[in-house]
Amino acid sequence: MVGRGSSVYANDVLGGEVVLVTGGGSGIGLATAWAAVAGGAAGVAIAGRKGHRLEAAAEVLVERGEAEGYDCRILPVVMDIRHLASVESGIATVIDVFGRIDVVVNNAGGQYVSPAEDISPKGWRAVVDTNLTGTWNVLVGVFAALDAAAPDKAALRGLRCVNVVADMWAGMPHMAHSGAARAGVVNLTHTLAVEWARYGIRINAVAPGIIVSSGLDSYPAPVRAALPSIAAACPTGRGGTESEVAAAIIFLASSGASYVNGAVLRVDGGSSLRKGIELSSFFPPHPAIPPYHSAPFLADKYGAFIQASRL
């Protein structure tokens, strides 16, 4: 008997399937791995760079799964998504153990906060390689492995991919590397949704706003201190939770979304409709340069126009 009511979905929403979650050892990825267990998956592979973190997460998933009566094998897979060889070897392990992959969640990612002009070439590469190239590596790695697993692209049929991006609709000030990479992933999602539909693959994305997750612990103290007020400024007045993002991911992976392809589901409480994630307060205006983006300046320069357009 599976299922003890941990999921907002039916216990068999992913019944008997195999799910690969990158970054599954922490935060949103771990919540997604748990949601897959609670959705009846037969196997969940969690991938990341740090073996000890993955082992600890696997233990939590196994213990909680057993306690709640779910029947799911957990496989920790050490994999650095920045490197294709590492991705290929990790995916080969998943297929060796489970024989297939039905759902891929490209959740691994991250960035650091910096004014654009201070991002070093190495820092730019690290963030773009992680978020854009890393997602690409996993997508093409899974495609190639499943293509090799059976003739006529049979093993690709029914594959679902969900890419985790970010609230970058109005740019990502002070995270230029990440904004560019995430926008690239959105475009990749659109492109592959069209190109790979003929193989029976669906590919969608989830764009979280501020999510109260372990990932935020890696930010410097002043950024962490400001996050509650940034989250509170969102129309729903709070940050999201890891399981709220996981629920959106599971929906897109499920047959409930069987006609959803190339979508980007915003899980941000509406914050992207208000403005971009605003980290400017950590980088005050240059003392010698007037704050050209400030409201008084706009009022001076465009006040008459704004006034006129309101009439």
In sequence order, which ranges of 23-161 are alpha helices (DSSP H)? 27-38, 51-67, 84-98, 121-128, 134-149
Quick check: 38 and 247 in contact, CB under 8 A?
no
Q: Does 27 bind ligand NDP (CB under 6 A)?
A: yes
Stretch that binds ligand TC6, among 60-68, 95-103, 125-133, 233-241 (CB under 6 A): 125-133
Binding track over 261-290 against ligand TC6, x by CB under 6 A: ----------------x-------------
Of the chain, the end-to-end C-alpha distance in Å amounts to 65
Which among 228, 301, 302, 240 has a CA at the least distance from the CA of 266?
A: 240
Report, in Å, the least distance between residue 228 CB and ligand TC6. Answer: 12
Name which of ligand NDP, ligand TC6, none residue 123 binds, using a CB cut-off of 5 to 8 Å depending on partner kind. Answer: ligand TC6
In whole angstroms, what separates CA 112 from the centre of its chain? 16
Q: How far apart are CA 2 and CA 251, in angstroms?
A: 19
Binding track over 209-228 against ligand NDP, x by CB under 6 A: -xx-xxxx-x----------
- Looking at the DSSP bridge assignments, the partners of residue 73 are 43
Report, in Å, the least distance between residue 24 CB and ligand TC6. Answer: 14
Q: Does 120 bind ligand TC6 (CB under 6 A)?
A: yes
Q: How far apart are CA 204 and CA 286, in angstroms?
A: 40
- Tokens found for residue 164: 């985790």
Q: Does 49 bind ligand NDP (CB under 6 A)?
A: yes
- Tokens found for residue 271: 């914050």
Q: Does 43 bind ligand NDP (CB under 6 A)?
A: no
Quick check: 69 and 3 in contact, CB under 8 A?
yes
Q: How far apart are CA 101 and CA 155, in angstroms?
A: 8
Binding track over 87-106 against ligand TC6, x by CB under 6 A: --------------------
What number of chain residues touch ligand TC6 (CB under 6 A)? 16
- Tokens found for residue 192: 């592959």
Name which of ligand TC6, ligand NDP, none residue 126 binds, using a CB cut-off of 5 to 8 Å depending on partner kind. Answer: ligand TC6
Q: Does 138 bind ligand NDP (CB under 6 A)?
A: no
Q: Does 90 bind ligand NDP (CB under 6 A)?
A: no
Among 68, 112, 140, 280, binds ligand TC6 (CB under 6 A): 112
The single residue listed with the structure tokens 């696997």 is 58
Name which of ligand TC6, ligand NDP, none residue 29 binds, using a CB cut-off of 5 to 8 Å depending on partner kind. Answer: ligand NDP
* DSSP letter assigned to residue 13: T
Quick check: 209 and 233 in contact, CB under 8 A?
no
Q: Does 56 bind ligand TC6 (CB under 6 A)?
A: no
Q: Does 189 bind ligand NDP (CB under 6 A)?
A: no
Among 6, 11, 29, 172, binds ligand NDP (CB under 6 A): 29
Q: Does 137 bind ligand NDP (CB under 6 A)?
A: no
Q: What is the DSSP pairing of strand 160-164 with strand 240-241?
A: unpaired
* DSSP letter assigned to residue 207: E
Q: Is 208 helix (H, G, I), strand (E, B) or coil?
A: strand
Report, in Å, the least distance between residue 27 CB and ligand NDP. Answer: 2
Among 110, 173, 184, 262, binds ligand NDP (CB under 6 A): 110
Residues that bind ligand NDP (CB under 6 A): 22-23, 25-29, 48-50, 53, 79-82, 107-110, 130, 134, 164, 166, 208, 210-211, 213-216, 218
